[in-house]
């Protein structure tokens, strides 16, 4: 039994596959940008309200 006849596989033209991969990369970049902007807005709101940032969150952001 061939893998291509399995319901888990579909055939996609090579140019369509390249287009989908490019779209995926753009969406990934967009999602990272949105996450970054959300973090900045959250930090600004914390500063306005005079809240302190938990150490664990700060270390996580710094990659420590």
Question: Mapping DSSP to helix (H, G, I), strand (E, B) and coil, where does residue 12 land?
Answer: coil
Whether the pLDDT of residue 1 is over 50: the answer is no
Whole-number pLDDT of residue 3: 56
Q: CB of 9 within 8 A of CB of 1?
A: no
Whole-number pLDDT of residue 35: 92
- Give the pLDDT confidence of 4-40 residue by residue, as tens digits: 556 788 888 999 999 999 999 999 999 999 999 998 8
> CA distances (Å), 11 to each of 14, 27, 35, 41, in order?
9, 23, 34, 43
């Amino acid at each position: 039994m061939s893998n291509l006849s399995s319901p888990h596989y579909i055939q996609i033209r090579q140019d369509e596959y390249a287009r989908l991969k490019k779209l995926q990369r753009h969406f990934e970049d967009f999602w990272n940008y949105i996450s970054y902007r959300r973090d900045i807005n959250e930090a600004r709101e914390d500063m306005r309200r005079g809240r302190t940032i938990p150490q664990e969150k700060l270390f996580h952001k710094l990659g420590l």
